[in-house]
Every structure is written in C-alpha cells, then in structure tokens.
Amino acid sequence: MIDQVIKLFFSAGVASKLQLMVGDALDSLDDLRRKGHEGTFDFCYIDADKKNYTTYFDQSLHLLKPGGVIAVDNTLYRGLVLGDADKVGNWINLANKHFIESRSVEGLLLNVGDGYSLFRKLHIYDKYTVI
Ligand SMILES: C[S@@+](CC[C@H](N)C(=O)[O-])C[C@H]1O[C@@H](n2cnc3c(N)ncnc32)[C@H](O)[C@@H]1O
C-alpha cells in the first residue's frame, strides 16, 4: 500500500513536494507540533477516524497559518447526524457542534455528497486564543 502511494506521488510529479507520514494521524499531528510546524500549513483535510474529528480540528488550528483552510468530509454523514443518528452520526454531530462553537474560524457546511465543511482560520487567532 505504501509503495503504491509513493508510486502515485511520482506519477503525479509531486513526490519532491510531499512528505509521507505513516502511522496514527493523532501521533503524526503531535509530532508535527513538537517539531515546530505550528502556524506553517495552508490546508488541512480531515476524512478519517470520525470519533476523533474534534481533535483533528483543534490540532489543525494549531498547525495552520492564519487564513489557512480546514476541509472536513462526511459532515452530514448519510443524513444520520440528527434525529436517528447512529454511533458515527453522533460523533459527527458532536464534532459539527464543536466546529461551529469555535471562535477561531469562519466556516460553512455544503450539502454536497455526504456533507463537506470548510473553515478558514481567522487572522486574530494565535496560540493564546482559547479554542
Ligand atoms: C475515508 S478514507 C480516506 C480517503 C482519502 N481522504 C481519499 O479521499 O482518498 C480513511 C483512511 O484513513 C485511514 N485511517 C483511519 N484512522 C486513521 C488514523 N487514526 N490514522 C491514520 N489513518 C487512519 C483508514 O485506514 C483509511 O485508509
């Protein structure tokens, strides 16, 4: 699988621009912060491990530059985020609440596909702001 991903990076001509981090994304994000990459990213994409969406969002806020964008997939989760929500739907529902309560971003939820949300980190946000 990893070999296949690396091959795809090369065939797309972007291998020199990408650094592959293999492992649990929660650890990888901690690593990035520990290694001084806070405030350096333009874009974060969240599309796995629905239970931890809020943690990925908060970690992304630390890693993004002001004005940087977070995209989150599946934010309507098959229409199961409200009412008859299943386990995953409940996680997403809680995450959606967390996102809109954040004072560090402005955002929108698009009703395309399975629901897709976009957030822009506000310029007033810095590492001392409560998120
Ligand atoms: C929905 S797919 C992502 C698809 C990808 N974003 C795309 O558009 O092609 C989720 C992937 O994340 C992986 N994954 C799930 N939990 C993870 C975690 N904690 N850390 C890293 N990868 C994880 C899964 O194995 C799966 O390959």
| CATH number for the domain that contains residue 51 | 3.40.50.150
Q: Is residue 9 part of a domain?
A: no
- Structural domain boundaries, residue 97: 21-121
Q: Is residue 62 part of a domain?
A: yes
Ligand 1, atom 2: nearest CA belongs to which residue?
48
| Confidence at residue 126, expressed as pLDDT on a 0 to 100 scale | 52
Q: Is residue 13 part of a domain?
A: no
Q: Is residue 82 part of a domain?
A: yes
Locate the ligand 1 atom nearest the alpha carbon of residue 45 and give its number. 6
Q: Is residue 129 part of a domain?
A: no
Q: Is residue 12 part of a domain?
A: no
Q: Is the distance from CB of 75 to CB of 52 less than 8 angstroms?
A: no
% of the chain beyond a pLDDT of 70? 94
The tally of domains found in the chain comes to 1
Does the pLDDT value for residue 127 go beyond 90?
no
| Confidence at residue 85, expressed as pLDDT on a 0 to 100 scale | 80
Residue 71 Cβ inside 6 Å of ligand 1? The answer reads no
Q: Is residue 87 part of a domain?
A: yes
Q: Is residue 1 part of a domain?
A: no
What would the mean pLDDT of 67-94 be, rounded to a whole number?
Answer: 93
| Residues 44-73 as b or e (16 or more Cβ within 10 Å = b) | bebeeebebbbbbbebbbbbbeeebbbbbb
Residue 47 Cβ inside 6 Å of ligand 1? The answer reads yes
Q: Could you tell me the pTM of the whole model?
A: 0.91
